[in-house]
């Protein structure tokens, strides 16, 4: 069990007459990601509410801010009790046995045009053993062909672009890996959160994007950009791709500044401090 404490602060300057926000900055509640305590603070005295989407479990904070500065603070203490399994023992779930709510994750989406990549993915990955190793192979293929370079992609950049351009950030690596998985009928989804242990060379702690693939009845974590330690991921949202899980969707003109985020490891109830590390087992925090 790993206990993490995270804090984030978002600052906006809202133009008159004010505007609506939808945030996805609450740690998800899953069977293996337990939110021990959390606190939301708003600098404006406006009503807000947090809804949980029944299909994804994502928790959406909604509020209507009035003009002026808005600061949104969120802190949480989260226990991660990972499901772990040996990769070689994890087979893919045949299409015929995929649960209905999982089906959507083999279809293409805004940034993951898996329909375009069928031939390429079949040529590269079609003959491999159908299990965790194949997904890891897709992940490695993306990592080898893509340079991690900030400010080379933007909100329009899709898996096709990243395949062609060979460059991007964590979001782009995730989109390309997802598209390739779907192209060989492996359900894959986009996950966002905060991670403990990111490469400090990449700058201050920021939101992270990674991948979950559905294998053997469960969603397993993959980190295609290779910049972080999967065991240290606190999940906020999952979706078809980045279109579904922006940390902030803003319905009007605002100025924003870079989020300020901290994350640290706390000792558990038994006083032991368990740190995230690059373990060999496959990890899941879902179900």
Residues that bind a second copy (CB under 8 A): 20, 22, 51-55, 60, 62, 64, 94-96, 100-101, 103-104, 107-110, 112-113, 115-117, 119-120, 123, 145, 147, 154-156, 160, 163-167, 185, 240, 243-244, 249, 251
Hey, CA dihedral for 72, 203, 245, 228, is it positive or negative? negative
Residue among 96 and 201 whose Cβ is closer to a second copy: 96
**How far from the centroid of its chain's Cα atoms is residue 191's Cα?**
2
Rounded Cα distance between 216 and 238, Å, is: 19
CB of 7 to a second copy, least distance (A): 26
Rounded Cα distance between 196 and 262, Å, is: 9
CB of 62 to a second copy, least distance (A): 6
272 burial level (CB within 10 Å; 0-12, 13-18, 19+): exposed
Residue among 212 and 244 whose Cβ is closer to a second copy: 244
CB of 53 to a second copy, least distance (A): 5
215 near 286, Cβ under 8 Å? Answer: no
181 φ, ψ (degrees, to nearest 5): -60, -50
CB of 258 to a second copy, least distance (A): 17
Residue among 49 and 272 whose Cβ is closer to a second copy: 49
Q: What does DSSP assign to residue 92? A: B
Residue among 163 and 191 whose Cβ is closer to a second copy: 163
Residue among 37 and 151 whose Cβ is closer to a second copy: 151
Q: Is 25 left (phi over 0), alpha (psi -120 to 50) or beta?
A: alpha
CB of 134 to a second copy, least distance (A): 16
């Amino acid at each position: 069990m790993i206990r993490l404490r995270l804090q984030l602060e978002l600052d906006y300057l809202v133009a008159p007459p004010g505007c609506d926000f939808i945030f996805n900055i609450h740690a998800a509640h899953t069977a293996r990601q337990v939110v021990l305590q959390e606190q939301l603070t708003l600098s404006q005295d406006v009503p807000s509410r947090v809804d949980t989407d029944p299909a994804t479990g994502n928790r959406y904070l909604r509020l209507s801010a009035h003009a002026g500065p808005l600061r949104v603070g969120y802190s949480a203490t989260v226990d991660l009790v990972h499901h772990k399994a040996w990769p070689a023992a994890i087979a893919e779930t045949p299409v015929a046995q995929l649960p209905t709510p999982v089906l959507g994750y083999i279809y293409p989406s805004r940034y993951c045009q898996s329909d375009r990549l069928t031939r390429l993915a079949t040529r590269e990955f079609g003959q491999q053993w159908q299990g965790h190793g194949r997904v890891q192979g897709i992940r490695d293929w993306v990592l080898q062909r893509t340079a991690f370079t900030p400010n080379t992609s933007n909100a329009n950049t899709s898996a096709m672009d990243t395949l062609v351009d060979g460059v991007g950030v964590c979001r782009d690596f995730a989109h390309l890996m997802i598209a390739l998985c779907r192209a060989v009928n492996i359900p894959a989804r986009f996950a966002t959160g905060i991670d403990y242990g990111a490469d400090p060379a990449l700058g201050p702690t920021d939101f992270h994007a990674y991948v979950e693939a559905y294998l053997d009845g469960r969603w397993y974590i993959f980190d295609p950009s290779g910049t972080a330690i999967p065991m240290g991921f606190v999940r906020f949202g999952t979706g078809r791709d980045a279109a579904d899980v922006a940390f902030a969707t803003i319905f009007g003109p605002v100025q924003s500044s870079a989020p300020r985020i901290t994350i640290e490891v706390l000792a558990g109830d038994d006083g032991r401090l368990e740190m995230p590390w690059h373990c060999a087992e496959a990890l899941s925090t879902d179900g």
